[in-house]
Amino acid sequence: QVQLVESGGGLVQPGGSLRLSCAASGFTFSNYAMRWYRQVPGKERELVAVISSTGGYKNYADSMKGRFTISRDNAKRTVYLEVNNLKPEDTAVYFCSAQGSATRIYWGQGTQVTVSS
């Protein structure tokens, strides 16, 4: 069975940092590009970052550049998202997604990040 299990979210103060993790199983992880998205209630899902199957290519939404870092460890079948200098507007549910083709895409359940004093 395909599974993406996210962890690392929580309540942090503005200016703090988090590292989110997404552990994959049930598919050939090294063949899949990985993405992180986030979603605020009442708003559309927003792309945060993408990393190629080998980790050789990374990119970020323009508004995310500078504070967000995506990485992966294929041996551990895990993708990470580091978020620095957190701001209240970063509060959202963060999802990881695996895409091997236009017809093969999987989603995690999401992890809540709340930034508040």
Helices and strands: H and E segment counts in the chain: 0, 11
Each residue's pLDDT tens digit, 50-61: 999 999 999 999
pLDDT over threshold 90, residue 65: no
Instruction: Give mean pLDDT, residues 19-48.
Output: 96
pLDDT value at position 106?
96
Residue 110 to residue 36: CA distance in whole angstroms: 10
3-state secondary structure of 62: helix
* Res 96 pLDDT > 90: yes
3-state secondary structure of 60: strand
Model pLDDT, residue 89: 95
Alpha-carbon distance 46 to 63, whole Å?
A: 11
Instruction: Enumerate residues 6+ apart whose C-beta is below 8 A from 75.
Output: none
